[in-house]
């Protein structure tokens, strides 16, 4: 039928087309490039470009950064490391910015180095956790639902302040009191604010401070700051106090910065003064202004605003004299003793320490003094005044005590920063003397170096046991200890007792939330130092605590963190899954989203750390379960990216499964996996690839000749692929897999299976849509289709004809499909397929084929160069050429001359390469095509010239000498 169809087409002209006889071996020999020894010193574009550091070593900054040259030096210095010579670039820059001129020079003199080192000691390093890190945490932790109030006392003190003097002149009075009043006579009290309102109000104040400052209303700005810091003496709604402190100290910081910058800018009149200026650089006006600020602040009536505002502008002391800061800090420290409320006092100390660390981190004494003062006034916390207040506000003691934590942590952190062990020991002793106060102990463990704490872990446990609870829960203490031990290791011999002691307490914690918070911390310690046995015990305990009343539902973040820690320390999955309690623990994640999240993290670790393929049934079962969980989470609403990432993880798992020589087991695993992961297309594709690989592996093991058993097995593999491929939705995946599986089947001598695959591929072809979506964009599928057909054609060379079907059954089938396919309008794709089929047909007519598959007889052997077969091929060629010529003709009529030219040229090239041009008619056709392609001047002259050169070269071979005659007839069209 096919044949008749091709014949029925009226032939434009009848050519007897002969394929040129090819000797592939000889051609290959000729084509092979001369081996040229590679000179290693030569320039090569792919060689790593080496940037030689051409900076002048001394001048640091002046060297041009753009000067780079490729050099052939054998050891290429890394430009970054050579520039900075091993020092951490960040810290170096930090140090450099402190000194006036940043020097990156290698040969800085020893004096300079010494100076830098000294500066480093004075600087706060990167290992000091800055306040900004704590800020957010405090704001998030200390919240309230109660109503708050802001009372900006506008001159409410007037009566008291001026009581003795009714006759004070108006002028003096206003001068004194304008410091207290924001706007004369206006008293604002904002009541019933929600926490958010309160935060907004404070932010408004911050804004109005900046506005007042920029509009040169310095007195108003000061008033705002004073009023704000006054709010810090108010401890109503005490749970909110730490957050209030954070908000208000932000304003103070702004103020301090504004004042400092203004005075600094006053000194920079002729030229800016360096950051490391000395008192002599400051001019009189600036000094006077600065002094004025200090006098104004010294006359603030109330203690707390005076303290805070002076602390805020502490840095400005640098303008006045050298020793200002170191005299002021102790004075302010002592001043805090005047604050009666212990909470207000401790936060004032925290602020002072913070400012002190910023401005003069080398002044450790006042930090220590702050801490000792804190200890001295510690009993205030349990005083009557505080207790009464708590009763009124209905705040529990444990809650109240935790309000202290951020401030005490901060103070201790400042004190402990780079402090010698001796000092820390002394601090500890002092804390002990105070009756082992739990609150203090907690902060000590938080703030002191983990190494310090870890070395004395046993002591600490003793102290925790001894200390009177005083309302501060012990599990928090153990939590803090655990946090230190997670970062630093206690002595080896003490580890187990420590864990036992700690867990004894932790397991007694009643509230599941408290329990899990504490347990989560200790899991890290356990994982770090102990084996799976201990971890298993811990997990069992966690399960026991969290299961009743489904307590785990409220603790997913902590449980996730436990999982994460375990995965960080246990990379051996056979150990991990042999923990009895691991899977039950996994079962606690019952909320779908969390569960999938946890499964993903497990798989990520597995893929990252599993080196060897595995067949361990424990691992496989468990991971299959995990992957199934991930897979089952996919539904109609799952986004594409999520699916992709899940598929990626599952694929990673599948790749890691290997049963070694037990191929059947492997196949049955793939069967099982296919059933399990049917919703994720990439996984199915991966499975097909795995099975194909399995077949090829079998072939390799058998050395190419299958036994009866293995032959059956590879057929089973083919069957697997064959029934799996149709379930894919992506048409191109299907096509490529059919082709690939066909090739694999062919390689394994499964001829009928290969035939079936290829037939299936051909039958799917008409379904290919005209456009497909690539990365979310609609694009024409033509290019993809052409690619596929070309690779399909090249496979067809080795596929033997089916004995029951006609000659070239598959080729004809493909060409028919191509003819029936609805190509895009105005597209030459069909004709291009015809042209690319010609080389295949030419190759098929050779006596021995370009390539064959071992143990598979191709058509060359089947037909043995039978003239009928060759004639059949020739007829097919004729038909194809006829089709192409027809198409060329239609193009000539229309606007498609350019396309006509290029098609004609490609047909010419094909004829030239594969046709036997000794045949006159063919020769004439080639010449005509050449002329046609050049007729309209649309061809690329350079390609034409190259083609002519090629022909000339070919013509030198004796068997191709006829080409030289043709060459004479091919003329280059000169461009007008």
Binding stretches for another protein (CB under 8 A): 161-165, 167-169, 172, 176, 233, 283-285, 287-288, 291, 294-295, 298-299, 301-304, 306, 331, 334-335, 337-341, 344, 373, 376-377, 379-380, 383-385
- DSSP annotation of 148: E
Taking a C-beta distance cutoff of 8 angstroms, is the pair 837, 880 a contact? yes
Count of CB atoms within 10 A of residue 721's CB? 24
In the bound state with another protein, the residue whose beta carbon lies nearer, of 343 and 498, is: 343
Shortest CB 55 distance to another protein, Å: 46
Pairing of strands 777-780, 188-193: unpaired
Shortest distance, CB of residue 291 to another protein, whole angstroms? 8
**Which of 282/831 has CB closer to another protein?**
282
By beta-carbon proximity to another protein, the closer residue of 302 and 597 is 302
Minimum separation from the CB atom of position 347 to another protein (A):
14
- Please report where in the chains the tokens 């010494």 appear, as a residue: 114
Residue pair 374/408 in contact (Cβ under 8 Å)? The answer is yes
Nearer to another protein, 383 or 398 (CB): 383
Nearest to 320 by CA among 277, 365, 262, 275: 277
**Are the beta carbons of 247 and 202 closer than 8 angstroms?**
yes
Taking alpha carbons only, the member of 423, 334, 500, 418 closest to residue 126 is: 418
For residue 154, the minimal CB distance to another protein (Å) is: 18
Residue 301 CB, shortest distance to another protein, in Å, is 6
The nearer residue to another protein, 300 or 844, going by C-beta atoms, is 300
Q: Residue 483 has which token pair?
A: 């946090």
Q: Which is nearer to another protein, 299 or 861 (CB)?
A: 299
Provide φ and ψ at 247, rounded to 5°: -60, -45
Q: What are the structure tokens assigned to 562, written together?
A: 């436990």
Q: Note whether 330 and 290 are within 8 A (CB).
A: no
Distance of closest approach, residue 165 Cβ to another protein, in angstroms: 4
What's the rounded Cα separation, in Å, for the pair 968 and 961?
Answer: 12
Query: Smallest distance, Å, CB 157 to another protein?
Result: 9
Query: Rounded distance, CA 116 to CA 111, Å?
Result: 9
User: Other CB atoms closer than 10 Å to residue 945's CB: what's the count?
Assistant: 11
Q: Give the residue with the Cβ less far from another protein, 299 or 668.
A: 299
Residue 27 · residue 933 · CB < 8 Å: no
Least distance CB 536 / another protein (angstroms): 51
Q: Which residue lies nearer to another protein by CB, 294 or 530? A: 294
User: Rounded distance, CA 804 to CA 821, Å?
Assistant: 26
- CB nearer another protein, residue 333 or residue 614: 333
In the complex, the smallest distance separating the C-beta of residue 429 from another protein, rounded to whole angstroms, is: 20
Q: How far is the CB of 328 from another protein (least distance, A)?
A: 11
Q: Tell me how long the chain is.
A: 976
Nearest to another protein of 303, 728 (CB atom): 303
Q: In angstroms, what is the minimal distance from the CB of 302 to another protein?
A: 5
Work out how close the CB of 187 gets to another protein at its nearest, in angstroms, rounded to a whole number.
Answer: 20
Task: Find residue 188's DSSP bridge partners.
Answer: 152
Residue 208: in which H helix or E strand, if any? Answer: helix 195-214
- Quote the least distance from Cβ 290 to another protein, whole Å: 11
Token pair of 794 as six digits: 């090249």
H or E element that contains 193: strand 188-193
d(C-alpha 500, C-alpha 478), whole Å? 12
Nearest-approach distance from CB 315 to another protein, in angstroms: 19
- Bridge partners of 614? 657
Q: Is the distance from CB of 523 to CB of 562 less than 8 angstroms?
A: yes
Task: For another protein, give the closer residue by CB, 334 or 712.
Answer: 334
- Minimum separation from the CB atom of position 639 to another protein (A): 58
DSSP state of 634: -
Closest CA to 831 of 913, 760, 896, 918: 896
**Residues β-bridged to residue 152:** 188
d(CA 864, CA 877): 20
Cβ at position 106, least distance to another protein in Å: 46
Q: Which is nearer to another protein, 338 or 617 (CB)?
A: 338
User: How far does CA 858 lie from the centroid of its chain?
Assistant: 52
Least distance from another protein to the Cβ atom of residue 191, Å: 23
**Minimum CB separation from another protein for residue 160, in Å?**
8
Task: Report the residue number, 407 or 926, with the smaller CB distance to another protein.
Answer: 407
Element at 562 (helix H, strand E): helix 556-569
Buried-exposed string 547-582: b where 16+ CB fall within 10 A, e elsewhere:
eeeebbeebbebbbbbbbbbbeebeebeebbebebb
Considering beta carbons, is residue 302 or 782 the nearer one to another protein?
Answer: 302
Q: At what angle do helices 867-893 and 829-844 cross, to 10 degrees?
A: 160
DSSP label of 770: S
Q: Which residues contact 152 (CB under 8 A, 6 or more apart)?
A: 182, 187, 188, 189, 190, 227
Rounded Cα distance, 334 and 295, in Å:
19
In the complex with another protein, the residue whose CB is nearer, 75 or 167, is 167
Cβ proximity of 281 and 224 under 8 Å = no
Nearer to another protein among residue 337 and residue 946 (C-beta): 337
Q: Which is nearer to another protein, 177 or 916 (CB)?
A: 177
Q: Residue 356: which of 320, 312, 397, 319 has the closest Cα? A: 312
Nearer to another protein among residue 304 and residue 649 (C-beta): 304
CB 651 within 8 A of CB 686: yes
How far is it, in rounded angstroms, from Cα 450 to Cα 446? 8
């Amino acid at each position: 039928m096919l044949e008749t169809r091709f014949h029925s087409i009226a032939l434009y002209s009848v050519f007897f087309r002969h394929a040129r006889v090819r000797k592939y071996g000889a051609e290959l020999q000729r084509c092979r490039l001369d081996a040229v020894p590679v000179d290693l010193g030569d320039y090569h574009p792919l060689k790593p470009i080496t940037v030689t550091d051409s900076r002048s070593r001394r001048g640091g900054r002046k060297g041009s950064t753009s000067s780079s040259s490729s050099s052939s030096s054998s050891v290429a210095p890394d430009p970054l490391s050579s520039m900075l010579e091993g020092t951490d670039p960040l810290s170096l820059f930090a140090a450099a910015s402190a000194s006036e001129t940043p020097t990156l020079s290698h040969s800085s003199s020893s004096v300079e180095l010494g100076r830098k080192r000294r500066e480093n000691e004075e600087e706060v390093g990167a290992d000091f956790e800055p306040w900004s890190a704590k800020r957010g945490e405090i704001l998030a932790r200390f919240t309230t639902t109660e109503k708050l109030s802001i009372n900006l006392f506008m001159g409410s003190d007037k009566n008291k302040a001026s009581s003795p003097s009714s006759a004070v002149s108006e002028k003096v009075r206003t001068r004194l009191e304008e410091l207290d009043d924001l706007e004369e006579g206006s008293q604002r009290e904002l009541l019933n604010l929600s926490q958010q309102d309160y935060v907004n109000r404070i932010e408004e104040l911050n804004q109005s401070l900046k506005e007042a400052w920029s509009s040169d209303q310095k007195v108003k700005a000061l008033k705002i700051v004073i009023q704000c810091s006054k709010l810090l003496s108010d401890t109503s709604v005490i749970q909110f106090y730490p957050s209030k402190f954070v908000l208000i100290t932000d304003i103070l910081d702004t103020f301090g910065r504004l004042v400092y910058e203004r005075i600094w800018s006053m000194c920079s009149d002729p030229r800016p003064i360096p950051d490391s200026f000395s008192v002599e650089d400051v001019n009189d006006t600036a000094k006077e202004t600065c002094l004025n600020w200090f006098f104004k602040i010294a006359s603030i009536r109330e203690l707390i605003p005076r303290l805070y505002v002076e602390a805020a502008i502490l840095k400005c002391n640098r303008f006045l004299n050298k020793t200002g800061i170191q005299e002021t800090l102790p004075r302010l420290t002592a001043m805090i003793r005047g604050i009666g409320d212990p909470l207000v006092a401790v936060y004032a100390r925290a602020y002072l320490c913070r400012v002190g660390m910023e401005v003069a981190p080398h002044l450790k004494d006042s930090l220590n003094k702050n801490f000792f003062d804190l200890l001295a006034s510690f009993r205030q916390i349990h005083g009557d005044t505080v207790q009464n207040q708590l009763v009124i506000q209905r705040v529990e003691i444990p809650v109240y005590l935790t309000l202290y934590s951020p401030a005490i942590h901060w103070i201790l952190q400042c004190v402990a920063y780079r402090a010698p062990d001796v000092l820390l020991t002394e601090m500890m002793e002092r804390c002990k003397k105070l009756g082992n106060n739990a609150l203090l102990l907690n902060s000590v463990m938080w703030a002191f170096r983990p190494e310090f704490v870890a070395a004395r872990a046993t002591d600490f446990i003793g102290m925790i046991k001894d200390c009177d609870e005083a309302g501060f829960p012990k599990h928090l203490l153990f939590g803090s200890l655990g946090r230190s031990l997670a970062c630093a290791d206690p002595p080896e011999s003490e580890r187990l007792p420590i864990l036992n002691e700690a867990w004894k307490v932790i397991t007694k914690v009643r509230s599941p939330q408290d329990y899990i918070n504490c347990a989560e911390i200790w899991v890290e310690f356990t994982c770090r130092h102990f084996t799976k046995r201990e971890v298993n015990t811990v997990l069992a305990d966690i399960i026991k605590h969290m299961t009743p009343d489904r307590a785990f539902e409220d603790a997913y973040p902590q449980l996730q963190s436990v999982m994460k820690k375990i995965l960080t320390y246990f990379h051996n999955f056979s150990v991990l899954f042999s923990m009895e309690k691991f899977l039950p623990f996994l079962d606690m994640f019952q909320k779908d989203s969390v569960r999938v999240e946890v499964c993903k993290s497990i798989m990520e670790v597995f893929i990252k750390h599993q080196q060897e393929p595995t067949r361990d049934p424990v691992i496989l079962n468990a991971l299959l379960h995990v992957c199934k969980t991930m897979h089952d989470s996919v539904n109609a609403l799952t986004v594409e990216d999520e699916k992709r990432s899940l598929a990626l993880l599952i694929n990673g798992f599948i790749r890691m499964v290997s049963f070694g020589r037990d191929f059947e087991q492997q196949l049955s695993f793939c069967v099982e996996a296919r059933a399990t992961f049917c919703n994720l297309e990439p996984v199915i594709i991966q499975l097909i690839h795995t099975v194909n690989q399995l077949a090829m592996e079998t072939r390799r093991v058998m050395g190419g000749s299958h036994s009866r058993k293995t032959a059956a097995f590879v057929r089973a593999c083919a069957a697997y692929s064959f029934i799996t491929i149709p379930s894919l939705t992506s048409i191109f995946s299907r096509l490529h897999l059919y082709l690939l599986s066909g090739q694999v089947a062919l390689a394994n001598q499964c001829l009928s299976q290969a035939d079936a695959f290829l037939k299936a591929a051909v039958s799917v072809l008409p379904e290919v849509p005209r456009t497909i979506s690539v990365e979310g964009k609609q694009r024409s599928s033509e290019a993809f289709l052409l690619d596929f057909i070309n690779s399909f054609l090249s496979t067809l060379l080795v596929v033997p004809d089916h004995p029951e079907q006609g000659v070239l059954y598959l080729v004809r089938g493909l060409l028919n499909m191509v003819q029936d396919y609805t190509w895009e309008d105005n597209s030459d794709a069909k004709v291009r397929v015809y042209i690319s089929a010609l080389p295949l047909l030419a190759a098929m007519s050779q006596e021995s084929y370009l390539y064959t598959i071992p143990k598979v007889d191709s058509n060359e052997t089947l037909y043995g160069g039978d003239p009928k077969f060759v004639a059949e091929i020739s007829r097919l060629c004729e038909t194809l050429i006829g089709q192409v010529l027809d198409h060329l003709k239609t193009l000539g009529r229309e606007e498609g001359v350019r396309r006509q030219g290029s098609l004609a040229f490609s047909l010419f090239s094909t004829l030239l390469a594969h046709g036997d041009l000794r045949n006159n008619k063919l020769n004439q056709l080639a010449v005509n095509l050449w002329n046609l392609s050049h007729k309209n001047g649309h061809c690329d002259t350079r390609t034409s010239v190259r083609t002519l050169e090629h022909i000339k070269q070919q013509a030198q071979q004796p068997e191709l000498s006829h080409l030289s005659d043709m060459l004479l007839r091919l003329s280059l069209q000169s461009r007008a």
